[in-house]
Amino acid sequence: MEEGISLNQNNNTINSVTVKEDKKLLAKIWDKTVDLGVSVQEAKINMRPTQIKILSVFCPELKPIIEPVTKFYESDSGKKYLEGQKEGIRIAGNVLKGDTDEAKKQCQEMLDSINSENGDNMVNMANDINGMLTEINEAGGMKK
Amino acid sequence: MNENPGFISVTDENNNKIEIQVIFGFEIPEYKKSYVVYTTECQSPQEEINVNISEYDNNTYEIKSIPEDELDFVMESYNNAKSMILETE
């Protein structure tokens, strides 16, 4: 066992390994993990001899929100919804660049794409969004 | 639900509630286990504080001790995860 590490198995406290760390270093880590948590990213690193997956910050308060949102974006409806959002950003980017002809073309393509969807698909998407919001709400994710 | 993001209430073996500040978490796929790095001393005036590393059950939020034969590898993984986070832009 490394120097400075102790295995705390006292019945009066939480069982854990304890190490000493500088508070300033912890503050830096905290800032970075919160950033990762906010953007709901998982950073993967390769290390010898295995792989560690950083789960950003373990924050149970976020779990009721992240899980239904992730599930929705993984569904067919969610993928279409996300593609629509991304296309909207691409159109806005072209408008900002002054390429309004390209933006107009993209808008028409987006409209054609929406028009080509049948009613059932749109109802399914609405139901999936409603399900996601209900799940978040029931898990207490939107309550203060 | 806890109103302080980053804080979790845990119960010790005497059923006392303890509020801990979570710093980060990591997984070791080889062990199929998650770990949480946290402190109970964030208000301490000391420059150096005790940081705890425990196994963590993602479903029950239960914190467990790390088996001694896995300890060295968990510590190596902790140090690698810490370096990786600090190097993140």
Digit-coded pLDDT (tens) for A73-131: 778 888 888 888 888 888 888 888 888 888 889 888 888 888 887 777 778 888 888 88
B24 touches chain A (CB under 8 A): yes
Pairwise CA distance, residues B85 & A69, whole Å? 25
Q: Where are the domains of chain A?
A: 17-54, 63-138
Interface confidence, given as ipTM, is: 0.75
> Both tokens of residue A20?
């000493």
A 53-72 → B contacts, CB under 8 A: 53-62
Q: In percent, how much of chain A has pLDDT > 70?
A: 60
Percent composition of chain B: helix, strand, coil (DSSP 3-state, to 5): 20, 40, 40
Pairwise CA distance, residues A119 & A117, whole Å? 7
Closest-CA residue of B relative to A140 is B1
Pairwise CA distance, residues A72 & A21, whole Å? 39
B11 touches chain A (CB under 8 A): no
Kindly give the interhelix angle for A63-74 and A76-97, rounded to the nearest 10 degrees: 90
Closest CA to B53 of B70, B35, B71: B35
Q: Where are the domains of chain B?
A: 7-87
Q: Which residues of B touch A36 (CB under 8 A)?
A: 85, 88
Query: Which residue type sits at A92?
Result: A
* CB within 8 Å: B54 and A17: yes
B31 touches chain A (CB under 8 A): no
Pairwise CA distance, residues A90 & A5, whole Å? 51
Q: pTM of the prediction?
A: 0.49
